[in-house]
């Protein structure tokens, strides 16, 4: 295996528990192809193996200590361990491998009933695609495995964007269970790998406290709207700018025997401004927007956007009403998110109680040493 030396700064990051090694943290490495490399210090002492990406700023991702063979059996054992960690999850839609959170950098594997969808997000990982596909087949035995390798981050690795079947058959819509509901993912064309699994536990939390009139802003396929109806809401106003997403929601509502959804195709910012000026109030408001900050420079604007939505969302609450609010922008860190909520609460004129601090579900393990594994921040608030 090719050896690459790593600078003291890079070594320090590894010791701090972070597996990423940047271009500038490596010694000479011209001409090395994507794949497994052995990391060494300046004296040639082995520091373990890593996935090497010749074009990405994150040039290597640490995998295993020196002396551990990273072969087909290793990938199988790692993916099996990840699957075992999800043993108690009853929902047939859940994440099976969460990248660094499961010690498998740049690999995502999601399960929707008997279908699996994976994303291989680095050039190094692509070099062992066969071993990963075999391991997924062995551990999950799905009817089919789709590779949703169309994520934009693949551009940074100079990998093509493509969606291909690794084996078996993949339907246009894949049914899966979440709580008491049967939902449908769109593995070929949907957001992420076909649904927002990271909110799985939050969908159920919000479903449990729903009553009366509820509002689901940025509803997509109804991840929150449907459990709210199931949980006892009389009416759910479900808003998204995508008419197609709303049609999927309506189909799922019918399939689950749920009535009371009012779909609204609109821009959430415009709608909420008008609504807050009107007199309708809601017992539960959900705000789950897309990532507004894709990088550090857009953080300030993103926070202004979150604040505007949350401020209006708070004003729309009935007395005693709940606000469930989330941000999936990694660059908006927890402290900033809660600071934004405090400002929104102050400006809204409502007294907001922090009922619960939330994040992604347990199937999206977050490592304390790798903050990137915990991008989703959320809070359950109550107007007192």
Site residues for ligand SAH, 239-268, by CB under 6 A, read: 240-242, 245, 267-268
Of 221 and 382, CB closest to ligand SAH:
221
Q: Which of 157, 184, 288, 363 binds ligand SAH (CB under 6 A)?
A: 288
Residue 219 is a binding residue for ligand SAH (CB under 6 A): yes
Tokens of 209: 């406290």
Residue 162 is a binding residue for ligand SAH (CB under 6 A): no
In contact, 52 and 20? CB cutoff 8 Å: no
Of 3 and 191, CB closest to ligand SAH:
191
Number of residues that bind ligand SAH (CB under 6 A): 18
Shortest Å distance, C-beta 179 to ligand SAH: 13
Of 139 and 287, CB closest to ligand SAH:
287
Shortest Å distance, C-beta 330 to ligand SAH: 15
In degrees, rounded to 5, the angle at the alpha carbon of residue 345 between the alpha carbons of residues 366 and 349 is 165
Residue 182 is a binding residue for ligand SAH (CB under 6 A): no
Residue 223 is a binding residue for ligand SAH (CB under 6 A): yes
| CA pair distance 273, 270, nearest whole angstrom | 5
| CA pair distance 23, 331, nearest whole angstrom | 21
Shortest Å distance, C-beta 258 to ligand SAH: 16
Residue 327 is a binding residue for ligand SAH (CB under 6 A): no
- Catalytic site residues? 328
Residue 224 is a binding residue for ligand SAH (CB under 6 A): yes
Residue 3 is a binding residue for ligand SAH (CB under 6 A): no
CA distance to 155, 175, 332, 360, per residue, from 119 (Å): 14, 20, 24, 19
CA distance to 103, 130, 301, per residue, from 74 (Å): 12, 13, 44
Alpha helices in the chain (DSSP H): 8-15, 72-85, 123-126, 129-140, 200-209, 225-230, 243-255, 268-277, 299-315, 334-348
**Range in contact with ligand SAH (rule: CB under 6 A) among 124-132, 140-148, 157-165, 235-243:** 235-243
Q: How many CB atoms lie within 10 A of CB 262?
A: 12
Residues that bind ligand SAH (CB under 6 A): 196, 199, 218-221, 223-224, 240-242, 245, 267-269, 288-290
């Amino acid at each position: 295996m090719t050896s690459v030396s790593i600078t003291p700064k890079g070594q320090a990051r590894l010791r701090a528990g972070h597996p990423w090694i940047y271009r500038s943290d490596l010694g000479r490495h011209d001409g090395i192809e994507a794949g497994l490399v052995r990391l060494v210090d300046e004296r040639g002492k082995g520091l373990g193996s890593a996935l090497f990406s010749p074009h990405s700023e994150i040039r290597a991702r640490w995998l295993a200590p020196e002396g551990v063979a990273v072969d087909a059996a290793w990938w199988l054992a790692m993916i099996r361990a990840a699957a075992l960690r999800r043993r108690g999850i009853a929902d047939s839609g859940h994440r099976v491998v969460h990248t660094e959170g499961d010690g498998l950098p740049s690999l995502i594997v999601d399960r929707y009933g008997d279908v699996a969808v994976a994303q291989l997000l680095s050039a190094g990982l692509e070099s062992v695609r066969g071993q990963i596909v075999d391991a997924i087949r062995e551990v999950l035995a799905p009817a089919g495995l789709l590779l949703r390798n169309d994520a934009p981050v693949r551009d940074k690795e100079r990998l093509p964007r493509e969606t291909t079947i690794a084996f078996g058959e993949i339907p246009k819509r894949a049914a899966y269970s979440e709580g008491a509901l049967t939902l449908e993912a769109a593995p070929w064309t949907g957001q992420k790998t076909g649904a927002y699994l990271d909110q799985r536990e939050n969908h159920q939390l919000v479903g449990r406290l729903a009553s009366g009139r509820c509002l689901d802003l940025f509803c997509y396929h109804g991840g929150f709207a449907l459990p709210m109806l199931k949980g006892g809401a009389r009416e759910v106003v479900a808003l998204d700018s995508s008419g197609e997403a709303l049609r999927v929601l309506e189909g799922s509502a019918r399939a689950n025997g749920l009535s009371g959804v009012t779909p609204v195709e609109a821009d959430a910012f415009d709608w909420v401004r008008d609504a807050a000026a009107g007199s309708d109030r809601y017992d539960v408001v959900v705000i789950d927007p897309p990532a507004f900050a894709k990088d550090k420079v857009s953080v300030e604007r993103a926070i202004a956007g979150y604040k505007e939505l949350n401020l209006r969302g708070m004003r729309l609450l009935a007395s005693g009403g709940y606000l469930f609010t989330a941000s999936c922008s990694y660059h908006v860190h927890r402290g900033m998110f809660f600071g934004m909520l405090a400002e929104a609460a102050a400006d809204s004129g409502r007294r907001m109680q922090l009922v619960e601090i939330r994040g992604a579900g347990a199937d999206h393990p977050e490592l304390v040493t790798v903050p990137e594994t915990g991008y989703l921040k959320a809070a359950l608030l109550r107007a007192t």
